Structure 1
């Protein structure tokens, strides 16, 4: 095996470090692009439905990591992981003709349907001091589960979180609220 001198070894280390830094930088740029390419659409739609765009962004991050082609384990679709049933409610409310499940892969349609659904859930729980845990539980686990947990816990968000019987839903709510309120 051929020995290399110190100068050559340092050049190899230097260029490997440069390559690593470039790869990390490109990865970071790609991530930032993926996260922020829907900002305008999120802000416009959030204003329309009177929901904080940071909450919508936090929810999209948790649901799909900003992948508009994401399909969930229960066939939820797109950025906000909308079920076909929820999307049909939105389509019926807004007289969207010829709605198809595949329309949910369109970011604009998905964000409109998902933000509408979230806004409706927030309004339903607006009598609570902090309606967001209740609304996010409804978004994730369905209205009947959220109502059952609320009946067991009263108006306190803390007691509500303790009453949520699905660990995945508790983690879902905590993840979104941490990202929304703390900017993680």
Structure 2
């Protein structure tokens, strides 16, 4: 009986501590829901920060943006496989991976290698950097690059044409012309999450 009382007492303490922790999160975090998931992930949300920072410096891409794409695409699950065969942290398609392998003259590449976090982030950021470069003449190339990452370059050009502004279309023109609600929400979610990481200094001291 005494043993049961001890277990009950321990459980009560755990519950109180959990409630207190979530109360602190609610008061101190700009996104309590995200922070709660982050705590419950047991380190998964921060596991790839070192790798992200390393590749970000190589590609000249803000690490917050890379991490936000990974969060949106896979919630930091390197084993995730999408409905169209996308693989890994940044949900890379076989076509995109083949382009990367061909451009980098990578020999012996097979799609299962995309489940390796380092390879996946290398490929995903190569594709993202290529998209950012393609739209570099825009005042803000990020929405265009993210639209391409999610829906393909051909659709981005079509949306620009449909906007009536053609090659001079800005990010708002692009958004207004999009007929893919999923791509609209995808871009907004990643930009918002990237800002969240930046505001809390995710990579500030690294």
TM (normalized to structure 2)? 0.77
- Cα distance, 1:169–1:23 mapped onto 2, change above 3 Å: same
Give the length in aligned residue pairs.
Answer: 174
The answer to whether the 8 Å contact 2:86/2:94 transfers is yes
**How many angstroms apart in 1 are the aligned matches of 2:137 and 2:45?**
33
Q: Deviations over 1:146-172 (max 9, x none)?
A: 111122334321121111110111010
Residues 83-105 of structure 1: CA distance to partner in whole angstroms, max 9, x if unpaired? 00000101111111111010000
Work out whether 1:51 is the aligned partner of 2:61: yes
Q: What is aligned with 1:170?
A: 184
Aligned 1:64-103 pairs, distance under 5 A: 64-103=74-113
Contact residue 77 and residue 104 of structure 1 kept, 8 A: yes
| Contact 1:134–1:150 (Cα < 8 Å) also in 2 | no
- CA deviations on 1:9-64 (whole Å, 9 max, x unpaired) are xx95x644423356687975452610111111111111111111100000000000
TM-score normalised to structure 1 length: 0.86
- Within 5 Å, give how 1:102-121 maps onto structure 2: 102-121=112-131
* Residue from 10, 14, 21 that aligns with 1:19: 14
Judged with a 3 Å threshold, the aligned counterparts in structure 2 of structure 1 residues 21 and 51 are, in CA distance, closer, same or farther, namely farther
Q: 1:166 to 1:27 in 2, by over 3 A?
A: closer
